[in-house]
Amino acid sequence: MLMQFPELQYDFEYSVAEIDEDIAIAYTDEGNKESKEVLLFIHGLASYLPAWSKVIPLLKNHFRCIAIDLPGYAKSSAGVHSGSMIFYADAISKFAHKLNLQKVSLIGHSMGGHISIATALLYPQLIERLILLAPAGFETFTDEEKIWYKNNYTPKIYSVISDDQVRLNYEINFVKMPADTEIMIQDRIRMKSWKNFNNYSKVVSNSLYGMLDYPVFDKLNLITQPVLILFGKNDKLIPNFYLHKNLTPEKVAFEGASQISKSKLIIIPECGHFLQFEKPESISSEIIEFMSGQ
In a domain, 9, yes or no: no
Global confidence as pTM: 0.98
CA distance 254 to 264: 10
Q: CA 159 from chain center: how many Å?
A: 20
Q: Is 1 inside a domain boundary?
A: no
Cα gap 237→109, rounded to integer Å: 12
Q: Which ranges of 213-279 does DSSP label H, i.e. alpha helix?
A: 249-257, 275-278
Task: Provide the number of structural domains found in the chain.
Answer: 1
- Is 10 part of a structural domain of the chain? no
The identity of residue 91, as a single letter, is A
User: Would 180 be classed as within a structural domain?
Assistant: yes
Angle at 60 between CA 55 and CA 62, to 5 degrees: 115
Is 4 a member of any domain?
Answer: no
Q: What is the pLDDT of residue 226?
A: 98
| CB-based contact 265:232 (threshold 8 Å) | no
Beta-carbon count within 10 A of 174 CB: 20
Tens place of pLDDT per residue across the chain (294 aa): 899 999 999 999 999 999 999 999 999 999 988 788 999 999 999 999 999 999 999 999 999 999 999 999 999 999 999 999 999 999 999 999 999 999 999 999 999 999 999 999 999 999 999 999 999 999 999 999 999 999 999 999 999 999 999 999 999 999 999 999 999 999 999 999 999 999 999 999 999 999 999 999 999 999 999 999 999 999 999 999 999 999 999 999 999 999 999 999 999 999 999 999 999 999 999 999 999 985
**Is residue 221 situated within a structural domain?**
yes
Domain that holds residue 173: 15-291
What's the pLDDT score for residue 194? 98
Length of the chain: 294
* Residue 148 within a domain: yes
108 phi and psi, to 5 degrees?
-120, 135
Sheet holding 24-30, edge to edge: 15-18, 24-30, 64-68, 38-42, 104-109, 127-133, 227-232, 263-268
Q: Is residue 5 part of a domain?
A: no
CATH number of residue 29's parent domain: 3.40.50.1820
Strand duo 38-42 + 15-18: pairing: unpaired
